[in-house]
Chains A and B, each alone.
Chain A
């Protein structure tokens, strides 16, 4: 299949009313992000055909899965969706190999090279003869992902695949999901309430709240808008920076973000590894002169791009760093006036903390709980 997944659906499910519309590009990860009860899983169920919206249209590329107006409603078994569940749902009476083959056999036969490729990407070589009961939680999820992929789906739906795992298991599975994301040529819809997973995996973000889409777009754009409200009450705008691990020094790791060097708590990643950093706007101070004698380690020169007043009385300032990326700073209106901040002014951005998935102490994980 080529083409994006487009979803539009509206309906009442019990006391819950859902009204969502979004698109997931033909490749890459689209995260459905929101608190528990925001309607994320229900949205997946709607795409999969487990629940039927009263109105709407769902299409995977040119294949229409559901169209109320046209009277199309493919049953789940004919939608060609790969669905990865929170609880893996492997068939206990089948070996790992036969679990993997289950969907493939029903999608025109098991292709040996596809099988080998999936087994390789997900690291399942030594698990094939085992039964699900003899697998760890992380291994089960990897098998579940492989089983869904081998059914040659048009779309991969992942419903909080890591949320039932402890922190160590999450770290074990995440690299496999990253490889999957790099190799899969289908839309991946990834449901989560964990910002750490969003930052690590998502290319696009769809924010859900009470059954409505409140924001959607490329990850960095949505986070910069400050409309990702599910950060456990820490609603704030944030800059997402793509970086590479530089050198480790003691408890710190230097990360290069398009030329700017930021220090983070030590990362468990080798030099050269790609990482995404999140810098919350309220963790950034602005100074007109280079500050000295600060406890904050990241002080970067830049230029003010613009200032946007916000509803809460603060001002969101965008700062173009001299080297590369843009960061956001939340400052008070009073401060903006007394410093006479205007677009084009040279400033120093003091970054108090940088959140990055994989850091010791897991700063991002803190947002999730």
Chain B
């Protein structure tokens, strides 16, 4: 048993798993969050309210319920899980990818909200100007709307990443606690607390989580300033 800063391989493993799980989750969730935010901010289509509710459901449901829902859908006997297994030979449950899916779903409402706020704050007059200059819908989206929403998109990436790092209930329900695969920082922290004499380990994990949180906040601030300067605000 070493001192407080004698960080064992299990702690490093949990940190690595967390970063990979959260990074992958943000990578996949961010484009979808941008699309959902754009549809919700600008779209006028039937089912918009339903989409709004679906996107925000994870924010108001117990995380364990979300994890359970994912199990029902993506489990080996679930409709999507069975298809994945048959068509692609992919088995999602209890893998690192599953942990990313669970974390990404939980962080999704936050990410959509951040992007949507910046889309709604954008001057619609600029899009009319772009249109009068010959830019059709998708052209406008990529040349004007999204670049101007970049502060919100960057914000969504950072808050989404932080939320994914901290996600516990949905991840452990859907992806389990597999060391080196799905045992993220919060799960390792919980496991350490359940182990007699594990308080030292738990404290080290908590401090690492704190360090990451502080680093993320600083990074978010720097990124925000850069992006705002770039967008000409």
Contacts and interface: CB of A to CB of B under 8 A. Distances in A.
Nearest to B143: A102
User: Which of B126, B129, B231, B233: most chain A Cβ within 10 A?
Assistant: B129
Interface string B124-144: 011011111111100100011
22 contacts: A50-B128, A75-B136, A77-B131, A77-B132, A83-B128, A83-B129, A89-B123, A89-B125, A89-B126, A89-B128, A89-B129, A91-B129, A91-B148, A92-B232, A93-B232, A94-B232, A106-B134, A106-B135, A106-B139, A107-B134, A132-B232, A151-B134
Interface in A77-135: 77-83, 85, 87, 89, 91-94, 102-103, 106-107, 131-133
A94 B143 CA distance: 10
A82 B125 CA distance: 15
A93 B130 contact: no
A191 to B, nearest CB: 15
B126 A91 contact: yes
B135 A91 contact: no
A140 interface: no
A243 to B, nearest CB: 37
Interface residues of A, number: 28
A50 B128 CA distance: 8
Contacts of A75: 131, 136
Interface residues of B, number: 22
B231 A82 contact: no
B148 A76 contact: no
B231 A92 contact: yes
Nearest to B133: A103
Given A50-B128, A87-B125, A151 B232 contact: no
A75 B136 CA distance: 9
A60 B232 CA distance: 36
Nearest to A95: B232
B131 A76 contact: yes
Contact of A148 (B133, B135, B233): B133
Interface string A314-338: 0000000000000000000000000
B12 interface: no
A48 B131 CA distance: 10
Contacts of A78: 134
A57 interface: no
Contacts of B230: 93
Interface of A: 48, 50, 75-83, 85, 87, 89, 91-94, 102-103, 106-107, 131-133, 147-148, 151
B133 A106 contact: yes
Given A75-B136, A132-B232, 12 more contacts: A50-B128, A80-B134, A83-B132, A85-B125, A89-B126, A91-B126, A91-B130, A91-B232, A102-B135, A107-B134, A147-B133, A151-B133
A133 B144 CA distance: 16
B147 interface: yes
Nearest to B227: A93
Contacts of B231: 92-93
Contacts of B136: 75, 77
Contacts of A79: 132
A106 to B, nearest CB: 4
A109 to B, nearest CB: 12
A92 B134 contact: no
Interface in B59-110: none
A91 B128 CA distance: 11
A103 B144 CA distance: 12
User: Which of A75, A81, A106: most chain B Cβ within 10 A?
Assistant: A106
A161 to B, nearest CB: 13
A91 to B, nearest CB: 6
